[in-house]
A and B are shown apart, each in its own frame.
Chain A
Amino acid sequence: MHIPSYLMKSGGFMSRYIFKRLIISLLTVWILVTAVFLLIRVLPGDPFTSEKMTPEIKANMMKYYGFDRPLYEQYGKYIMNLLKGDLGNSLKYHNMRVNDIIAQTFPYSADLGIRALLFALIAGLCLGINAALKMGKFWDYFCITLAIIGVSVPDFILGSLLQYVFALQLKWFPVARWLGFKYTILPVFGLSLYTVALITRLIRVSMLDVINQDYITTAEAKGLSTFQIIWRHQIRNAILPIVTVMGPITAAVLTGTFVIEMIFAVPGMGKFYVQGIHDLDYSLILGMTVFYGVFLVAANFIVDIIYGFVDPRIRITGK
């Protein structure tokens, strides 16, 4: 197989770039984990205040969960457990490990999130490309309007609105829960509209940039068909910027699941997370925050690497 010479030369730069991003990501996770640990320890109140129990039982409970040990000892134990992949026990749901709760609920959140991301990518691409190709016409204005509304209506409001109109009034879709395809439509739509809007705006701008490039004129002059020009020369070059926003988009979809899962009673992580906040369930919040944090940092890391490969400025210089 023939490897272009610039790729061979850039091998060293690229691995240095990946190494650098990896170190930064690991540091980020460490800072997050430490901050979570410290913040949770200085929280006002403790998880047992809401329940009626004698001081002795409370002291025993504190001892059982290791809250009576010195802070550094708790921290060391906590980090060791984390390295082993153990996120501890939930304080509210007795005898349930945070790992189990995440294992049980994450598939629902992932299902919802992936559906929303896929829908957002497809819809955003179609709308954005369509808007750019029909610049200044009805479709363009339609897409711009949709995009600006999409970034302006918070997801918790959109979710409730969809539920009210399409489930409660029109009765086209089930009101809540997660039992089949019909149940997924409203939550996925509510979760993804912001992202659809974001991608539409981005693609439209980047398509308009590409359309005015000289190589498009060249392609036209060569006599390529309109379809070939749009598909091979315009779209391919215009979708690159999407890579740069994949990190923020993942974060937006993820935090969106908190409220969308609450509104539509989807038994995912977000619902438990918000519930944990109400219950002051330290280790549950701690574990889930660490999980969310690592997940997002990892997502950003992957995006950075992909970006490094597609952007020649990084590929060649490693900066």
Chain B
Amino acid sequence: MNKPVDINWDDSSLFEKIERDKSQLNVVVRPSLTYWQDAWIRLSKNKIALLCLGILLLVILLSIVGPYMTPYDFKSNDPDATDLLPNLQHWFGTDSLGRDLWERIWMGGRVSLAIGFAVTILNTMIGMVIGGISGYFGGKLDMFIMRIIDVLYGIPTIIVAILVMMVLDSGIASLIIAMVAIGWIGSARFIRGQILQLKNLEFILAARTLGASSTRIIAIHLIPNIMGLIITNLAMAIPNAIFTEAFLSYIGLGIQSPATSWGQLARQGAMAFRAYPYQLFIPAFFVSITMLTLNLLGDGLRDALDPRQRGRNK
């Protein structure tokens, strides 16, 4: 054991006295970061999330410009060029009607991505309004809304979507209606729960004391405070919406040929895949890679936007 060194604490020669500099008191040493700047810094340190964001943006970009990159059209048949393997003219090959698959993949990507994003955003917005009102006002209104939600929550979304799709004509709008029909219930429940946690905190009381209206309290104080969680949930729900669209189109209820989506391409590919497996595997790859990147990006967003949840559900 080392013997402790004896220090004479009263020996002033050992210390240098620093005068307090009053002019430095109010100087901010580091710039103060808003919640969103802080979240962005955390997200940009997450290599996997950034890579996923990059891949996702690439897929979105190709869905926008991809169809213009070849001279073909996604609808026109070519009887002389059916079931071609991927080659220099047809980068992803052609299907059994001689339609260029590169064109169809990216036209389908537009539809799949648009539905995925539209459904999720609509669900969240409806959920925000209903969950926000129900959670904030409480009482009889909350009871009423919650009983309706309790009852509807037990009905499987996919069964409702199947039923709605049978009644409506196939198409993008119908698919969105079918998936929003009871899809908003999950986010309404979630947002109500969050609002309930927040609404009794002091800053809400302060706002109310200062005479803020209920609309203002919900819109300015409550919603922004749960925005991080809402965005995380949004990112997690998009792959589900893309999956549901693909599932419905796959069983023949969604997008119908010649219009296309990734699910519809997978359906057509599945019919031909024993002889021409690439016709299934190419759309399968893009559905899977999109869902994978969205899931991983969602994980990254949760870690960045909700530090308390960091490292959970990996």
Binding site for B on A (CB under 8 A): 24-25, 27-28, 31-32, 35-36, 39-40, 42-44, 144, 148-149, 151-154, 156-157, 160-161, 164, 168, 201-202, 204-205, 208, 251, 254-255, 258-259, 262-263, 274, 277-278, 285, 289, 292-293, 296-297, 300
Contacts of B277 in A (CB 8 A): 164
Q: Which residue on A lies nearest to B242, using beta carbons?
A: A154
Question: Complex: how many Å from CA A152 to CA B266?
Answer: 15
Contacts of A149 in B (CB 8 A): 292
Does the CB pair B284–A161 fall under 8 Å?
yes
CB < 8 Å neighbour of B314 from A27, A144, A164:
A144
**B81 in the interface (beta carbon within 8 A):** no
Does the CB pair B313–A205 fall under 8 Å?
yes
Question: Complex: how many Å from CA A151 to CA B160?
Answer: 22
Jot down 26 A-B pairs with beta carbons below 8 A, ordered by A.
A24-B151, A24-B154, A28-B153, A31-B155, A44-B167, A151-B291, A153-B291, A154-B247, A154-B250, A154-B291, A156-B270, A160-B270, A164-B274, A164-B277, A168-B274, A201-B314, A202-B313, A204-B314, A208-B311, A255-B158, A274-B251, A277-B251, A278-B252, A289-B162, A296-B154, A296-B156
6 nearest CB pairs, A to B: A28-B154, A152-B292, A157-B284, A152-B291, A27-B151, A153-B288
Does the CB pair A42–B284 fall under 8 Å?
no
Given contacts A39-B166, A43-B167, A255-B247, contact A28 B288 (CB under 8 A): no
Contacts of B155 in A (CB 8 A): 28, 31-32, 293, 297
Does the CB pair B251–A148 fall under 8 Å?
no
**In the assembled complex, how far is the CB of residue B157 from the closest CB belonging to chain A, in whole angstroms?**
8
CB < 8 Å neighbour of B247 from A28, A148, A259:
A259
Does the CB pair B166–A43 fall under 8 Å?
yes
What 1/0 flags go to B211-253 for Cβ under 8 Å of A?
0000000000000000000000000000100010011001111
**B38 in the interface (beta carbon within 8 A):** no
Q: Which residue on A lies nearest to B294, using beta carbons?
A: A152
**B306 in the interface (beta carbon within 8 A):** no
Does the CB pair A31–B152 fall under 8 Å?
yes
Contacts of A168 in B (CB 8 A): 274
**B5 in the interface (beta carbon within 8 A):** no
Does the CB pair B247–A289 fall under 8 Å?
no
Contacts of B243 in A (CB 8 A): 154
**B150 in the interface (beta carbon within 8 A):** yes
Q: Which residue on B lies nearest to A131, using beta carbons?
A: B314
**B175 in the interface (beta carbon within 8 A):** no
Does the CB pair A39–B284 fall under 8 Å?
no
Main secondary structure of the interface of B (DSSP, over half): helix
Question: Complex: how many Å from CA A152 to CA B238?
Answer: 11
Given contacts A24-B150, A152-B295, A154-B243, contact A255 B156 (CB under 8 A): yes
**B312 in the interface (beta carbon within 8 A):** yes
**B287 in the interface (beta carbon within 8 A):** yes
Does the CB pair B284–A289 fall under 8 Å?
no
Question: Complex: how many Å from CA A263 to CA B280?
Answer: 13
**B164 in the interface (beta carbon within 8 A):** yes
Does the CB pair B163–A35 fall under 8 Å?
yes
Question: Complex: how many Å from CA A182 to CA B277?
Answer: 24
**B7 in the interface (beta carbon within 8 A):** no
Does the CB pair A292–B156 fall under 8 Å?
yes
CB < 8 Å neighbour of B252 from A152, A255, A274:
A274
Q: Which residue on B lies nearest to A290, using beta carbons?
A: B159
Given contacts A160-B270, A204-B314, A258-B251, contact A277 B154 (CB under 8 A): no
Does the CB pair B273–A154 fall under 8 Å?
no
Given contacts A153-B288, A154-B291, A278-B252, contact A293 B167 (CB under 8 A): no
Does the CB pair B156–A28 fall under 8 Å?
no
Q: Which residue on A lies nearest to B168, using beta carbons?
A: A44
CB < 8 Å neighbour of B288 from A32, A157, A208, A254:
A157
Q: Which of A24, A36, A156, A258 has the most CB of B within 10 A?
A: A156
